[in-house]
Structure 1
């Protein structure tokens, strides 16, 4: 067959000479060794800017490629210096550059030509060449002869090269095209990368070989026994052979080796009594061994698969695993690394799975394509529930700038797209079908609706009735509502979810995407997770998303869309993760872990109530660490060993010492691992609960000090034996605070009404609606100043705000206790938008570069993101408090602060103490407007100061979505109500 470049633009031609998809089992020869030969590594490479300029005849064995560059496989062209990088979300990458309609292919089409010379030892019976993933379309030649063509970037393409491969030297040639008709249905929210992105390998198969394996476990209704069903497809020599089956578990053999005559297709069933069931909580696996024995009695090959016994089904409109209602505490996961793109390594996948387990994430949706097969094996072993999603997204064909307009949607009802779409479902299912971690097949993402996707869902059901089928797009096209077995929504508000659940729902509800984790986000997440106990048909959701898709171009800087001069681009919208592109957990993880924990822990001063929300496992292997803190310091610790079965609640008495002394107490209870597991060290905390109470009483007062004053024309000085404060009328506050010869104020404090906008703020055009407060933050002016001299001098400043008929006041009282007591009052005003923040900012020299505080932590927290925070005394450097968001924005806040100390390396600095209600505290190396105007971290100016914010209130960060959803009303700051902030400050450590 002659390859034809026209295949690129033909939706009906998506595989030429490609073998049928099979399971991802690994066959091994008798004895040592492997049937597989890896072709990964350095390949010769040449880049062409378009189809016309691609090299001709390069596939010939005698072609001289000595002048070519080299490229690493697996890997991407763009990330190794070949071709421009581009990020777009919903729009097609050629939009506005070329006017195209499916299945047309753009003129701008990078072509990568690859050559790999290798040595082959000699074939047994059949040799199969496999490409685990190539983006987007590719032609293959071996030793100058055309092998085949394939599309679908994320499932294997297998070719029979038995008649073409030679003993000794061979040459494999591959030509990869950036664009093809497949590009219309691979419009995912990701970098548009090109290349041989997954492994390439040969399998030298013996004559008697297991081609395909389909394992199902049919459990009886009380789960006390199972039928293990094995459907086999074999390649057989003329003389036949035998198949030997054995099954072993953690306690040894479950099925003794059993033999039968081999045939091309086999359907075997075995009874298994008392199987240990698989779940994410207890991922019990068995080793299934299949040995193929030739007619001569010698072993031909062995296949060992790790299998799990479990049953997933719909019962009374609710999804159940092994008879229990399941909740998905999930996240969406792209294959991604800052340097390698989607060509992630085993070590990175292992890190991801351990991270999920450590942070109570029990489910992953493989957005929006099948992941590498090793990821599924890790999820089987460690225990992660999967929605396995087919490689299908055509977002730009039906949604334009957020508006639904499906006039030329693909695939829709177009018959010419049916085969290629169903093929993607088949390729995924056949490869992944034996993984117990996969509970649900997904028809892809954001491709509207229609008959083609409905037929795809029917394929899943026909081929594998043991799993359910997911597709969110029926929400936009109800003609084929039965495409999805569950109601799945994206970014529905909590109230919208409740509306569905209260309206006689016929399907269970999941949020396949929610909590858009872009920048400083995940506020209000508890409004979703609280629904789990309120509505039986609500079964959880999947955070968007796991990892920032930010690129390290080799200089250590993380770049986003548009930073490569890529146009069109969707800019920073690629950075939506709860971990950074370098796999550093962001502060958002603190909240996710707490809201996803499997135990509700509610302590009091006398007892702790623990509810075990697990479906299958008890508290065995966990200890309860009980700590009593007084004013943030530990005063008592003990350890308990509760025994609480899955689904049960227990009340345990606490024998705490009497809290007799005045102060604030916190009872903290944490369930921790007794021993190390696959995914965490001994002592790892899996769940936490806290109770706070106060014992009233008089606290000792410091000895009063004498104060002297000096009133000048525009300044007012107050001196104690070891401290001096100077207040300025024109500058509206204290301009100097000295002790021991050290100055603590770099500039006078300023009122703040504005926070640097978060990604969510920008997405909902917060600045347009609230700009009056940025203007007030920048341009307010001092009004009257009143000075009351006396034993404790009082200086009161009134301020006027531009265009706002409200006059906040700040009062400083220099106390004989050695502290300056501050009250900031906002009287409230009608007809104004909500306040982003109200407080005071202090400016200190950059040498004051660390802080210690007593409040909620340890990571940043906000009014709508508090469930994961706990009370304590925490320390951090000011630089560390600048959270690693790839776009600078508001970050680092601490709610519920009782006191905070901002100091230098010698412990000298300022101590701020709440008077009455705790305040919100922050210390950053940059000011509000520096964060506001920088679009990347390297645009921030050199650090010259420490900016300390003491706030009465700041609005929450939100996170329902990042393009219009406001912060929920209960977490906003009303401007028509008065606000008051009271605290004191004084030097410390001098």
Structure 2
């Protein structure tokens, strides 16, 4: 075959040429294979035609080329830079044309066949993922070219192989016609980023096969039929199955579900090959308007998962994928939507093994066409339909034998059009055992599920009640929130409110948090880089950092909150009846795998604990369980019961005693701190003394409490705005972060009106207000003391017409030499008004540094809720009522100004916030803002704190 010099194929709307038809992927076979992963020679050109094709010829000298690891992305390996956009194409929209400036990477790999490589049969060269367009040669012969970055492509190469010095040449173009189909809210990262493998294909070997394994939940039987392009036999020793391909057999079997992922090991044997099968019996159906698996409706507690590693991008290794699955299981997640493309096939093997429901999404998104009202959208242009069908087929054929996949998704944010209809029809014709999903099909013409993104709580409830209207077909379908709870920065808030609605209405079958992990790129300058940090002309900033995991895969507070919100066991009690109500919220499993414990806390200290006998309740069943007698009298102090559900034994995904669910409820109320005003203020040499404290005589500002210096104590209403405070540019709802800043709440002025010395109190009267506005807060600080302790009562009265809520309301002050922190209240992690389900009352301790939450873009973080008392920097602080506690080594203003964590330099002062209230979080970085009940309204308020020096 002669070498072509044209690059017309780059802009061709076809899926490519030369590749074999798609087929099932299997993890294990007795046929030989050779991984071609490793070090490849690499040359980067600025344009698609900058270099000729001579590098593909045998004998080409590439010794001067660079070396890169494959799998990998060359822009993460020192060659060029990554680009992040959410939906804007980073090139002119002129389909199918792409810019002449088109980074093109030539890759070379020279390899020998193993000495025991079979001499007979053929061979197939498989690429599991190349972005975005690849052209392939082997030993100087062109094999073809392809698009479809996250899909497999195979080429027949047996007739070209040599024993030694095989030259594999791959030309990869960053931009191609295929790029118009891959506008998927992620970094644009060219390269050979998944495995490259040479597969021996013995005579009579397995080609394509389809494992049909249904389950009859009434009879308790599984029916297995394996269709194969090559005749053979199927054996499943555990079930006594030995049948010919194409022949159905029904046997008693255990079903597969995400809760109990029962797999049976089998073998498909043809004349030339034995392929390992992992069979899970399950039936997916649309019945009674619900998604049912094995006869039961499923509630999806899911996440959207982009593939990501902070150093390797989308080039994931098996252990990283396993870590993702284990983290999901340990945080009660039961479902994954593979946004917005099929994942590495090994991830699906792990979902089968450990148990996760999967929506497998096609490698398709044309979101950027929304900028022109979807004009020229490829999915409504017949010229592109072959490429769309090719993408659908390559997903379905590769993944069709995974029991974890219960729904196929046509893609994401691609508008509507004839091409999507063609894809849906093809999928149903090929696989009637699964449902079809696509969020953009609002009339549900092509889909089996009514799916939406970021619908607010009220709309979701209307949908649950059947009051949403729509076509007759849509009204009869189940509802999914395929994206909700946008996990960008501090948040999301409101998850518990969504979950209560899901659990109230059968039609609502759950949702998928956006998204799993922050896509921060490890960077010496910033810690983690995001959009714009590489000089992109167009970018969407830190919108790429919107995950439940930080880039290093540490769980964020949002993931900890989500685990609590979706826990599969409800533990409820009021503390007075001597019983606790246990409810099994699994869809299938009973509670036999769990052990329950109780503990009894007084003033945050555990004074008794033991096991709690709980029956093995079936799915959906509840029971009242008697608690033991309290180990101490309730008069001893504020008391709580805590009941936990733990794994009773090791599982493949977590060890024995892993906490699956918990509940806590109060037995007795706390005693509110109070100080008898027995001392009065005494003026002196520029100071006023009151009990253990001293104040500036002119301003009334607190200077010391005992031997502890205090600086800058005053009312504070500003917080470093969160991503969710700022909202998204396209939203029409009020974006409070912008409104707050517009009002000047970040630069409040404090006017001193009076310092009054009474017989038993020091009173300081002030007005706190922003420049250029009439609104203000009349603020009175009243100090009293009993000689040993100091009490501050703050009274706040809004003046004029406050039409917006406050970011926070409390006091702020500075301490020196503060490091260790102890507190009694909510913990161990941060909590805010609409994200506090995971906060449990207890005694906790930390360092100031460990109180911080390392959001990739710095913002308000680290508040501990429901704090009764805290000890820091030599002071003990008690609150009435309970308060939010925050401490950090920089001011709120410095935090607000920082773009990256590296912008924050610890100072000599620790700034402490004691907040009477905080505004909720919501998820308005893409979804709805906080619900009204979590707004911090500007209204009259009074709160107090008691200060004492720790001896």
Assess same fold via TM > 0.5: yes
**Counterpart-to-counterpart distance in 1, 2:10 and 2:40:** 27
Aligned-pair CA distance for 1:55: 4.3
1:327 correspondence with 2:323: no
The answer to whether the Cα contact below 8 Å between 2:599 and 2:641 also exists between their aligned partners in 1 is yes
1:19 correspondence with 2:20: yes
Map 1:148-167; keep pairs closer than 5 Å. Answer: 148-167=144-163
Q: 1:180 to 1:5 in 2, by over 3 A?
A: farther
**1:364-413: CA deviation from partner (whole Å, max 9, x where unpaired):** 0000001011100000000000000000000001246xxxx12222222x
Q: 1:64 to 1:861 in 2, by over 3 A?
A: same
Residue in structure 2 matched with residue 394 of structure 1 by the alignment: 366
The answer to whether the Cα contact below 8 Å between 1:314 and 1:320 also exists between their aligned partners in 2 is yes
Map 1:46-65; keep pairs closer than 5 Å. Answer: 46-65=43-62
Q: 1:321 to 1:659 in 2, by over 3 A?
A: farther
Secondary structure of 1:884's counterpart equals coil
Which residue among 248, 254, 259 is the counterpart of 2:239? 254
Aligned-pair CA distance for 1:221: 5.5
Aligned-pair CA distance for 1:776: 7.0
Residue in structure 1 matched with residue 419 of structure 2 by the alignment: 452
Q: 1:708 to 1:279 in 2, by over 3 A?
A: same
Which residue among 447, 469, 482 is the counterpart of 2:436? 469
Residue in structure 1 matched with residue 793 of structure 2 by the alignment: 823
Residue in structure 2 matched with residue 296 of structure 1 by the alignment: none
**Counterpart-to-counterpart distance in 2, 1:953 and 1:450:** 49
Which residue among 181, 186, 198 is the counterpart of 2:194? 198
Map 1:423-502; keep pairs closer than 5 Å. Answer: 423-475=390-442, 478=443, 481-501=444-464, 502=466
**Counterpart-to-counterpart distance in 2, 1:148 and 1:520:** 47
**Counterpart-to-counterpart distance in 1, 2:509 and 2:189:** 35
**Counterpart-to-counterpart distance in 2, 1:134 and 1:550:** 21
**Counterpart-to-counterpart distance in 2, 1:321 and 1:9:** 43
TM normalised by structure 2 equals: 0.94
**1:153-210: CA deviation from partner (whole Å, max 9, x where unpaired):** 1111100001111122211111000011000010010000000000101011211201
The answer to whether the Cα contact below 8 Å between 2:642 and 2:664 also exists between their aligned partners in 1 is yes
The answer to whether the Cα contact below 8 Å between 1:560 and 1:571 also exists between their aligned partners in 2 is yes
Secondary structure of 1:754's counterpart equals coil
Residue in structure 2 matched with residue 910 of structure 1 by the alignment: 875
Q: 1:554 to 1:209 in 2, by over 3 A?
A: farther
Which residue among 626, 629, 646 is the counterpart of 1:672? 646
Map 1:334-345; keep pairs closer than 5 Å. Answer: 334-345=306-317
Q: 1:894 to 1:695 in 2, by over 3 A?
A: closer
Greater shift, 218-227 or 813-822, is seen at 218-227
Residue in structure 2 matched with residue 869 of structure 1 by the alignment: 839
**1:87-110: CA deviation from partner (whole Å, max 9, x where unpaired):** 11110011xxxx441111111211
**Counterpart-to-counterpart distance in 2, 1:554 and 1:771:** 31
**Counterpart-to-counterpart distance in 2, 1:630 and 1:849:** 26
The answer to whether the Cα contact below 8 Å between 1:550 and 1:581 also exists between their aligned partners in 2 is yes
**Counterpart-to-counterpart distance in 1, 2:854 and 2:594:** 33
Residue in structure 2 matched with residue 92 of structure 1 by the alignment: 89
**Counterpart-to-counterpart distance in 2, 1:4 and 1:592:** 54
1:835 correspondence with 2:806: yes
**Counterpart-to-counterpart distance in 2, 1:798 and 1:772:** 23
Residue in structure 2 matched with residue 138 of structure 1 by the alignment: 134
Aligned-pair CA distance for 1:830: 4.7
Aligned-pair CA distance for 1:461: 0.8
Gaps (5+ residues) in structure 2? 470-474, 729-734
**Counterpart-to-counterpart distance in 1, 2:672 and 2:458:** 46
The answer to whether the Cα contact below 8 Å between 1:11 and 1:420 also exists between their aligned partners in 2 is no
Alignment RMSD: 2.1
* Number of aligned residue pairs: 927
The answer to whether the Cα contact below 8 Å between 2:681 and 2:758 also exists between their aligned partners in 1 is no
Aligned-pair CA distance for 1:212: 1.4
Greater shift, 491-500 or 439-448, is seen at 491-500
The answer to whether the Cα contact below 8 Å between 2:705 and 2:947 also exists between their aligned partners in 1 is no
Q: 1:5 to 1:362 in 2, by over 3 A?
A: farther
1:715 correspondence with 2:708: no
Gaps (5+ residues) in structure 1? 235-241, 261-265, 294-299, 904-908
**Counterpart-to-counterpart distance in 2, 1:698 and 1:507:** 53
1:748 correspondence with 2:712: yes
**1:760-792: CA deviation from partner (whole Å, max 9, x where unpaired):** 112254243223764475322211111114xx4
1:278 correspondence with 2:256: yes
The answer to whether the Cα contact below 8 Å between 2:133 and 2:174 also exists between their aligned partners in 1 is yes
1:288 correspondence with 2:261: no
Aligned-pair CA distance for 1:6: 4.1
The answer to whether the Cα contact below 8 Å between 1:662 and 1:698 also exists between their aligned partners in 2 is no
Secondary structure of 1:387's counterpart equals strand
The answer to whether the Cα contact below 8 Å between 2:570 and 2:663 also exists between their aligned partners in 1 is yes
Residue in structure 1 matched with residue 376 of structure 2 by the alignment: 408
1:771 correspondence with 2:733: no
Aligned-pair CA distance for 1:714: 4.9
The answer to whether the Cα contact below 8 Å between 2:366 and 2:378 also exists between their aligned partners in 1 is yes
1:243 correspondence with 2:252: no
**Counterpart-to-counterpart distance in 1, 2:848 and 2:499:** 33
**1:314-338: CA deviation from partner (whole Å, max 9, x where unpaired):** 1111111111110110000011000
Aligned-pair CA distance for 1:290: 1.9
**Counterpart-to-counterpart distance in 2, 1:350 and 1:126:** 33
The answer to whether the Cα contact below 8 Å between 2:486 and 2:927 also exists between their aligned partners in 1 is no
Residue in structure 1 matched with residue 213 of structure 2 by the alignment: 217
1:110 correspondence with 2:110: no
Q: 1:22 to 1:818 in 2, by over 3 A?
A: same
Which residue among 180, 183, 188 is the counterpart of 1:184? 180
Residue in structure 2 matched with residue 237 of structure 1 by the alignment: none
**1:205-247: CA deviation from partner (whole Å, max 9, x where unpaired):** 211201112001233351422220110112xxxxxxx733211
**1:22-77: CA deviation from partner (whole Å, max 9, x where unpaired):** 11114533xxxx51100000001100011232343110111110111101000001
